[in-house]
Structure 1
Amino acid sequence: MSGGATPTLSVDASNKSLTPPTAAVQRDPSDIEGRIRDKIERNPVDILAYLELVQYYESRDAFEDSRKIYTELHNKFPFYSPLWTLQLKGELQRDEFKVVERLLAECLSGEKANNDLQLWSTYLDYVRRTNNLITGGQEARAVVMKAFQLVMEKCAVFEPRSSSFWSEYLGFLEQWKPVNKWEDQQRIDMIRRLYKRMLCVPFESIEKNWNRYTQWEQEVNSLTARKFIGELSPDYMKARSLYQEWSQLTRGLRRSPPSSLSTANKNTIPSIDEELDPNQLRIWLRWIEWEKENKLGLENEMLQSRILYVYKQGIQHMLFAAEMWYDYAMFISDATERCQILSTAVRANPTSPSLTFKLAECYELDNKYDLVQKCFEDCTQSLLREYHLMLASENEFRIYKQKKKMTFVNCIYMNTMKRLSGLSAARSVFGKCRKLKNNLTHDIYIENAYLEFQNQNDYKTACKVLELGLKYFQEDAAYINKYMDFLIVINKDSQIKTLFETSVEKLKDLEGLRSIYKKMISYESKFGTLNNVYSLEKRFFERFPHENLIEVFADRYRVQDENLIKQLELTYMNDDKYSETDDMLSSSLKRSRGSQANGQSHKKMKRGPAVPNEIIDLLAIIPKRQYFKAALLDPQNLVTYLNEQVELPPPSHV
């Protein structure tokens, strides 16, 4: 940090997060509201619990209470458009137009500006309801047309699944009944402009709309039809090709937000409790990279808008994926806006280390040191709250992982405070961590010891810290190993031997004990005497009589942590990582084999996938399409129903 004196930051020693959350109150089964609020208190980012409370209030006509819950949700998840859409639809059903107008202004502009087709479609519904064409005439029609134009430019031209919008816009223009030839020509020009705009956009049903357009041109004027169709054909062919490419790229992408409160469930609303699907995240990131290639040949401003649209869609569906938020924030060049995005990301993901660290960096660059401290305090408190709740589950793996996460964040917190405000601030953080005792892993003691040593070359304080940690981790082989490594670095021979002798009698973990013996044998081999080595080896083989003699011998002749005897002579025993030469040879072989395999698989792919017999049987018995004059089943509604209402059972393990 350059210039000026080092700022002094006070680290409050009384950390509220050190107090475990109070046990859940035993509520009466009829106290539905209380039980839902308990659920929210346990998990403050559980969107479904909030919506459950909204449904409870609305079922009792307590609409002011439901609005307060929505406000909480919007403050916590301002860019999650389905929440705005659900509230707006409910308010429109109750004809609360003033509330709708206020909400639309809040969610479509300013800091909370969303960009989502369902949300914009709700805006269109509001405009059409408040501008009656029968009573409003030309003025009302002009307002509605401006609204359609706005939605098209803001959102629809970027959305591959926008066929419903284009159909609605076309339907609106086609329903216009002109009163004279001038109006009729105006309507034709508007429809033609809309087709030209629409058929340059890669979206579903583009082929169907192209056929509709060519037929329309023939009906308007068969003499000019060929000219207009020929002018638009190259752009249409490009858009159709790009949509097909996009479809292949995003195959398997799940985008099914709830259409109403009743369809809000874990299939349609993201949940932090559900494990992140890495395949879905990869598809979103692939889509974004595809957009950045600018295959549509857009100007820079339009390209940026298109990429931003996909990012905003991505953070909705990957709401609890830190990488999606991080990528979105890093795409933004403006530092203030980036900081706002990261702040929103942390509100949705309060226990995310990566987002917390990045937000803290942004505040640090702006010299907002109090906000840096608040970032870490909020994250550690959220992690500790989760940890206390996990203790009841008795899932040892999850509990240990949470301890590791808490320790990691506190280590970075401590180092950051040292960088910003000096050693005293770092010691204050460590002091709070000490109160947690063995609720953190041993890494906090190791990290603090190195911090003390690096700061003032003060090995005495560092050793005191490590001795303090020994009270809680004297049976932790990993801690003993790291303690020994530190003592070896500072060359404290007597302390190394003392630590070794006191530890080998207490350790019950045989694998850990084996590693400590080998470390001590290696140390004596390099810095001690051969007699000491033989004495240690004798004790080692008494404890582990089945160990391979030459392996133990080779292990103490490691150079820079490489067992070169195994690599160069006893190659048949080598289970260490490859040398650089081996690695280069291996990579070369893999590349050549991979290219051959790709060539063969490419040939196989040309044959096309085999169609299952069940599909062939079904196609053989269903009637041909020419027997049906109109569609009997709307496929889009069927897909929506399956996504929102049908929950597939988990696959059975054979």
Structure 2
Amino acid sequence: MSTSLTPDPTIQEQEQGQGQQEQQEQQQADAQQTRHPNEKERQLLDKLSNDPLDILTSLELIQYYESTDASLDKIRGVFQTLHETFPLLSFLWTIQLKMELARDEFATVESFLSMCLSSSSNLTGSSPTELASAPNNDLSLWLTYLDYVRRKNNIITGGQEARSIVIKAFELVLEKCANWEPQSSQFWLDYLLFLENWKPFNKWEEQQKIDMLRKLYKRMLVVPFDQLEKMWNKYTQWEQDVNSLTARKFIAELSPNYMKARSVFQEWSNLTRNLKRITPISLHTVNKNNVPSSPSSSTSSFSTDIEQLDIWLKWIEWEKQNKLELSEELLMDRLNYVYKQAIQYLIFNPEIWYRYSMFLKDPIQREYILNLSLRANPTSATLTFKLSECFESNNQIDETKKCFEGCVDHLLKKTHQLVQSQESEQTINDSKRKLTFVYCIYMNTMKRLSGLSAARSVFSKCRKLKKNLTHDIYIENAYMEFQNQNDYKTPCKVLELGLKYFQNDGIYILKYLDFLILLNKDSQIKTLFEISIDKIEDLNQLKLIFKKILNYESKFGNLNNLYQLEKRFLEKFPNENLIDIFTDRYQIQNENLIKKLELRYLYDDTKNLKHYDTGNQTNRYKRKFDTYISDENNHKNNIQIEDGGGNGPQNKQMRLNSQLIPQEVVDLLSILPKRQYFKNVLLDSKN
């Protein structure tokens, strides 16, 4: 049986078709791969356009450029933007320096080191005094500096001169950073190993090496840092190896200070047990867990940041106790270091920046730090107001204006972004209220600095924004006009103008009524009330308006009008408690003294605290809900149930029972979740 060597045409066609298909798929894959990098870059750039403070996205962009072998100019451009925004964020400098060192770009490295550590152009020969005002002070950054110095000064080829330069560099890092850093064991070990690896050529050099090692041990073992006990054991063994006859003497001399340092470190460890101090040391270790998240980032955690802030502040207060008994100058250096470390991890927290600025006594340094703080927190009212005070104290009017204008520009941009991205109404309103608040302070500041005309100029800008601001700017401007001219006509015109935009806002009506009551404008008060009650849709706000007019009529009107008004109120709110309505009418200075002095079982302290800050100071970060509505309504009642008018026997029994329950138990029960949330029975009360 013969076999043909001629290929089967059908099979050949199939193979050709398959080959063409594979070729097409490969071309499509190549085309997709060509398009994909641009798409990835565009996505990252879009994210940065929406949130320029997103550090993680910037680093992801650098990672992308690295993976695609993009030009160094692109990578350096992203880093430059980061450094301009976050000049005190040391790990960004560390990452870039390590990338440049990996490419042997020594000239570039020295230039960058000069930017982040010193104003000096030659770091290898810089003295400690030249670096005294170094803006960055972080051990990882200093270790990168040491790496650079050691690579530039090879001991094998450079001999004693190179060794001397490296030792000076180690001493510089020791004085500027390692002395203050509780987690500095890596530095001390590197310094020890460097000296131990020295191969002396004669007895004089051998003795010099011993003296230098002993000096280093004496300085190291009085510093509270991690691995201190391990280093102590290493030291005692070293002394025994050098000279067993003198070992006991040297060890005994150092022992008391070592014991003190060990005790201080243990105390610090207990104090900062939950402190998170993790930053990326290279581009490949960057992730969302070790990079600060911008306030608008989805990975940002308010509760975690507050917890960390609390620990940092405790550390700072602990340092002020001066456990190491340092001189005033050294204590200030140590505190300065801790503040800068706190900023590394809380760079988006305005409070730590504010506290650091107030720690600095030099006005120029304070202004410098506040300027840096606003680069990272451009929408911060706290930092804007503090920096504006610095400018105002020096009568720098133009700088004060720029300070406020920068903040309101960023807030306005943020508000527009929130609206476009269709964020929640609460989030958008919070942004509008903050923008309005900054404008109010801006207006008052310009009045103080340049007079009423300058303040009115600010207000005219606000009028153009309309929907981007809340009613507060009209209320604030009205009171400012009234206080400065003692004339009610202009303030009333301002409030009437605001009524065009906020006629459905019950809180605005309440504040408008307060102002008219202050002026004793009876007819205008009643007119405003009558035109508003049918426009206010929020029943809680409407109830507050009625109560305010009831109180006003009780004090300044007549009883018949009061009864008529009360009747209208009960028609709209038939379930209101009569005793509450009656006693509220007789409030004086916003306090219900009938309940406080006579019907004490009905009295609620929290209702009368809105004018005072009586929060628990031991818990600094307890959230205070300070809105007008909740202040007026929070009495709504631990001791009242919904039973029609609230006047029946069941309600009376509730009041009597409430007196038998300790207030602490009532408070606890009020915050416990409802039983419906628990599907499984964890504890059966019947067993």
Q: TM-score, normalised by structure 1?
A: 0.83
Higher relative contact order, chain-length normalized (CA < 8 Å, sep 6+): 1
1:56 Cα deviation from its structure 2 partner? 2.9
1:332 corresponds to 2:340? no
**Which of the residues 54, 72, 77 maps onto 1:68?**
77
1:128 Cα deviation from its structure 2 partner? 0.6
Seen in structure 2, the aligned counterparts of structure 1 residues 28 and 525 have a Cα distance that, compared at 3 Å, is: farther
Q: Distance in 2 between matches of 1:577 and 1:564?
A: 14
SS at match of 2:87: coil
- Aligned-partner residue type, residue 53 of structure 1: L
Q: Distance in 1 between matches of 2:509 and 2:134?
A: 51
Q: Distance in 2 between matches of 1:189 and 1:577?
A: 69
8 Å contact from structure 2 (residues 412, 468) kept in 1: no
The aligned counterpart of 2:537 is 508
The aligned counterpart of 2:262 is 240
Counterparts of residues 247-646 of structure 1 (less than 5 Å): 247-272=269-294, 273=297, 274-276=300-302, 277-391=305-419, 392-577=421-606
The aligned counterpart of 1:190 is 212
8 Å contact from structure 1 (residues 376, 413) kept in 2: yes
8 Å contact from structure 2 (residues 591, 608) kept in 1: no
Q: TM-score, normalised by structure 2?
A: 0.79
SS at match of 1:398: helix
1:578 Cα deviation from its structure 2 partner? 8.7
Seen in structure 2, the aligned counterparts of structure 1 residues 454 and 375 have a Cα distance that, compared at 3 Å, is: same
- Aligned-partner residue type, residue 218 of structure 1: Q
- Aligned-partner residue type, residue 288 of structure 2: K
Per-residue CA distance 1:4-24 (angstroms, 9 max, x = gap): xxxxxxxxxxxxxxxxxxxxx
1:93 corresponds to 2:126? no
Q: Distance in 2 between matches of 1:504 and 1:360?
A: 42
1:579 Cα deviation from its structure 2 partner? 8.8
Q: Distance in 2 between matches of 1:578 and 1:67?
A: 58
1:54 corresponds to 2:62? yes
**Which of the residues 93, 111, 134 maps onto 2:156?**
134
Q: Distance in 2 between matches of 1:366 and 1:58?
A: 47
Moved more, 328-337 or 389-398: 389-398
Moved over 6 A (4+): none
1:168 corresponds to 2:190? yes
Seen in structure 2, the aligned counterparts of structure 1 residues 502 and 29 have a Cα distance that, compared at 3 Å, is: farther
1:384 Cα deviation from its structure 2 partner? 1.2
- Aligned-partner residue type, residue 109 of structure 2: V
Per-residue CA distance 1:453-512 (angstroms, 9 max, x = gap): 111112111111111111111111111100000000011000000000111111111111
Per-residue CA distance 1:408-444 (angstroms, 9 max, x = gap): 1111111111111222221221122112213211111
Seen in structure 2, the aligned counterparts of structure 1 residues 492 and 29 have a Cα distance that, compared at 3 Å, is: farther
Q: Distance in 1 between matches of 2:37 and 2:510?
A: 53
- Which has more radius of gyration? 2
1:371 Cα deviation from its structure 2 partner? 1.0
SS at match of 1:511: helix
SS at match of 2:179: helix
Per-residue CA distance 1:355-393 (angstroms, 9 max, x = gap): 000011111112211111011111111111111111123
Moved more, 435-444 or 226-235: 435-444
Q: Distance in 1 between matches of 2:573 and 2:171?
A: 79
The aligned counterpart of 2:247 is 225
8 Å contact from structure 1 (residues 563, 576) kept in 2: no
Seen in structure 2, the aligned counterparts of structure 1 residues 363 and 301 have a Cα distance that, compared at 3 Å, is: same
Moved more, 273-282 or 529-538: 273-282
Q: Distance in 1 between matches of 2:363 and 2:39?
A: 47
The aligned counterpart of 1:41 is 49
1:576 Cα deviation from its structure 2 partner? 3.7
SS at match of 1:252: coil
The aligned counterpart of 2:89 is 80
Per-residue CA distance 1:318-340 (angstroms, 9 max, x = gap): 10011100010001000011000
- Aligned-partner residue type, residue 344 of structure 1: L
1:574 Cα deviation from its structure 2 partner? 1.1
- Aligned-partner residue type, residue 327 of structure 1: R
SS at match of 1:555: helix
SS at match of 2:88: coil
- Aligned-partner residue type, residue 473 of structure 1: F
Q: Distance in 2 between matches of 1:578 and 1:504?
A: 24
SS at match of 1:256: coil
Per-residue CA distance 1:109-161 (angstroms, 9 max, x = gap): 14762111000000000011011111111111111111111111111010000
Q: Distance in 2 between matches of 1:402 and 1:322?
A: 16
Gaps of 5+ in 1: 1-26, 588-652
Q: CA RMSD in A?
A: 1.9
8 Å contact from structure 1 (residues 88, 100) kept in 2: yes
8 Å contact from structure 1 (residues 106, 112) kept in 2: no
The aligned counterpart of 2:619 is none
